[in-house]
Structure 1
Amino acid sequence: MTDPISITSLALGVASLAIEVFEGVKRGYEYFEYAANMPEDCASFKLRLRIEYSRIMDWAVVAGLADKKDYGRFNKKYTANRHIIMAVLSEMSALFRSLQKDYKELRWFENDELRLIGTSHGATKDCVTKPDVGPQVRVTPADPEENGGQRRVKAIEKEAADSIDVSVYGLFQSPNVPKSQQKYTRGINHIMSFGKKAKSIATEPKRLRWAFVDKTKYFEALQKLKDLTDYLHQTTGDYQLELLAQSTRETCLAMLRLTDSVQEMKALLEGAKVVKIPDPELEIDSGSVFSQATTLPNSSEDCGPQGQGTLFERLAQFSIEHAEVFAAESGLGTRLDSADDFKIKLDAETDRGSRTSAVFREQQVWVEWKEFVPSPIQPKNEFDLPTWGPNPDLVKRLSQLSALLEKREKPEEFGIPNCLGFFQDKPPRNRFGFILEMPKRSQRKAVPKSLFEILTNEQSKSTINERIEIAQGVVTSLFCLHAVGWLHKGLRSASILFSDTSSEGSIGKPFISGFEYARPFALNMTSTRPPNDLMWAIYCHPDYQGNAPGPYCKVFDIYSLGIILLEIAYWKTADELFQITEEVKGAEARALVKAEAQVTLTKDKAKKQAAQEAEVFKSGLLKRTRDRILNDDSGLMSYVKHTMGKRYYNAVIACIQGVDISQFGPEAGDTELVVDAVMQQAFLRQVIDELQGIRL
Structure 2
Amino acid sequence: MDPISFSVGIVSGVIQVYGAVTAAYDTYIQVVEFPASYQELRMGLMIERYRLDLWGRHVLAEYEIERGTLPTHDIGLWKLFEAIFTKILEAFQENHQMMENYGTHTGILKQEGLSEWELLESMSIATKSPPKHSLMKFPKTLKFVLREKRKMEQLLQQLCYWNDSLDRMTSRLDQESSRRRLRAHFSTGNTSELRDLKAAAALLKHQDLERMATARTVIEQGNHSEPLDRSEAQSPDNLPSTPPPEYRLEMDEFKWQDIPYKTDRPRAMATWNGQSVIIDWRTCHDDSWRRGHPVAFRKRTENLAKILNTDLRPLNLSVLHCVGYLDRNSNVTGYAFRLPPGADPGQNPVTLHHLLCNVRKADDIPDLGERFRLAKALVSTVFEIHNLGWLHKNIQPKNILFWPKPNSTVAIDISKPYLMGFDIARPNQEGEFSEKPPSRPEDDLYRHPAYKGAEPHSFLPSFDMYSLGVVLYEIGFWRRITVASQAAPRTSERPPIPTYNSDPQYIETLVKNGSVSEMRRFMGTKYRDAVIACLKKEFDEVWEKQQGNRQQQLQTYLGQVQNKIVDAIAVCSA
TM-score after normalising by structure 1: 0.59
User: Equivalent residue for 1:125?
Assistant: 134
For residues 373 and 7 of structure 2, the distance between their equivalents in structure 1, rounded to whole angstroms, comes to 50
Tell me which of 28, 38, 41 is aligned to 1:42. 38
Residues 243/408 of structure 1: CA separation in 2 closer, same or farther (3 Å cut): closer
- Which one of the candidate residues 26, 30, 47 is aligned to 2:22? 26
Take 2:544 and 2:279, find their aligned partners in 1: how far apart are those partners? Answer: 46
Matching residue within 140, 148, 171 for 1:214? 148
Equivalent residues in 2 for 1:509-588 (5 A)? 509-546=416-453, 550-576=457-483, 579=498, 581-583=500-502
Matched, 1:368 2:294: no
Partner deviation per Cα, 1:227-248 (whole Å, 9 max, x = no partner): 66677x49xxx86476764465
The SS at the match of 1:368 is strand
Q: Deviations over 1:572-631 (max 9, x none)?
A: 2232376454226xxxxxxxxxxxxxxxxxxxxxxxxxxxxxxxxx5xx2xx624422x3
Change (3 A) 1:581 1:651: closer
AA in 2 matched with 1:525: E
CA distance in 2 between partners of 1:635 and 1:496 (Å)? 24
**Cα distance in 1 between the residues matched to 2:289 and 2:283:** 19
In 1, the alpha carbon distance for the partners of 2:418 and 2:438 equals 23
Structure 2 match to 1:450: 351
| SS of match in other structure, 2:502 | helix
Answer yes or no: is the 8 Å Cα contact 1:47–1:271 preserved in 2: no
Residue pairs, 1:339-350, within 5 angstroms: 347=259
CA RMSD after TM alignment: 5.0
Q: Is the 8 A contact 1:358 1:367 kept in 2?
A: no
Cα offset, 1:258, TM superposition: 3.2
Name the structure 1 match of 2:241: none
Q: Is the 8 A contact 2:40 2:197 kept in 1?
A: no
Match of 2:115 in 1: none
Distance (whole Å) between structure 2 residues aligned to residue 63 and residue 430 of structure 1: 53
User: 1:11 & 1:458 partners in 2: Cα distance?
Assistant: 57
Percent identity over the alignment is 20
Alpha-carbon spacing, 1:505–1:52, altered in 2? closer, same or farther (3 Å)? same
DSSP 3-state at the match of 2:48: helix
User: What is the Cα deviation at residue 411 of structure 1?
Assistant: 2.6
Q: CA deviation at 1:489?
A: 0.5
Show the 5 A alignment for 1:385-400: 391-400=294-303
Residue of structure 1 aligned with 2:195, choices 263, 266, 287 = 263
1:333 lines up with 2:247 in the alignment: yes
Residue of structure 1 equivalent to 2:571: 693
- 1-side partners of 2:26 and 2:376: how far apart? 39
How far apart, in 2, do the equivalents of 1:490 and 1:583 lie? 23
Structure number with bigger Rg: 1
Name the residue aligned to 1:489: 393
* Greater helix content: 2
Deviations 1:408-460 (A, max 9, x none): 6343953333445444436xx84334445554533473643322233223548
Residues 432 and 469 (structure 1), Cα distance of their counterparts in 2 relative to 1, 3 Å cut: same
* SS of corresponding position for 2:398: helix
Give matches, 1:115-514, under 5 Å: 125-126=134-135, 128=137, 214-226=148-160, 233=166, 240=170, 245-246=175-176, 248-258=178-188, 260=191, 263-273=195-205, 326=223, 327-328=225-226, 331-336=245-250, 347=259, 352-356=264-268, 365-371=278-284, 373=286, 375=288, 391-405=294-308, 407=309, 409-411=311-313, 413-425=316-328, 430-436=331-337, 438-439=339-340, 441-443=342-344, 445=346, 447-459=348-360, 461-464=364-367, 465-501=369-405, 503=408, 505-508=410-413, 509-514=416-421
Aligned residue type for 2:475: I
CA 1:95–1:12: 2 relative to 1, 3 Å? farther
CA distance in 2, matches of 1:322, 1:124: 36
The gaps in structure 1 that reach 5 residues or longer are 107-114, 140-209, 277-309, 378-387, 585-617
Deviation per CA, 1:20-69: give whole Å up to 9, x if none. Answer: 655444333223334447544333322221233224334544564899x7
Distance 1:404 1:86 in 2: 38
User: Aligned equivalents of 2:540 and 2:552: distance in 1?
Assistant: 11
Give, in angstroms, the shift of residue 491 of structure 1: 0.8
Contact 1:249 1:312 in 2 (8 A): no
Cα 1:454/1:532, change in 2 over 3 Å? same
Residue 648 of structure 1 corresponds to 527
Kept after mapping to 2: 8 A contact 1:372/1:431: no
Q: Say whether residues 1:635 and 2:518 are aligned partners.
A: no
Aligned counterparts of 1:689 and 1:118: Cα–Cα separation in 2? 40
Alpha-carbon contact 2:447-2:466 (below 8 Å) kept: yes
Q: Distance in 2 between matches of 1:552 and 1:470?
A: 26
- CA–CA distance in structure 2, aligned partners of residues 561 and 680 of structure 1: 15
SS state at 2:247 partner: coil
Moved more, 684-693 or 69-78: 69-78
Query: Unaligned regions of 5+ residues in structure 2, if any?
Result: 109-124, 228-243, 485-496
| TM-score, normalised via structure 2 length | 0.70
1: distance between equivalents of 2:202 and 2:178? 14
SS at structure 2 position matched to 1:347: coil
Shift of 1:398: 2.4
Checking the alignment, whether the CA contact within 8 Å between 2:43 and 2:200 is kept in structure 1 is: yes
- The amino acid that maps onto 2:510 is R
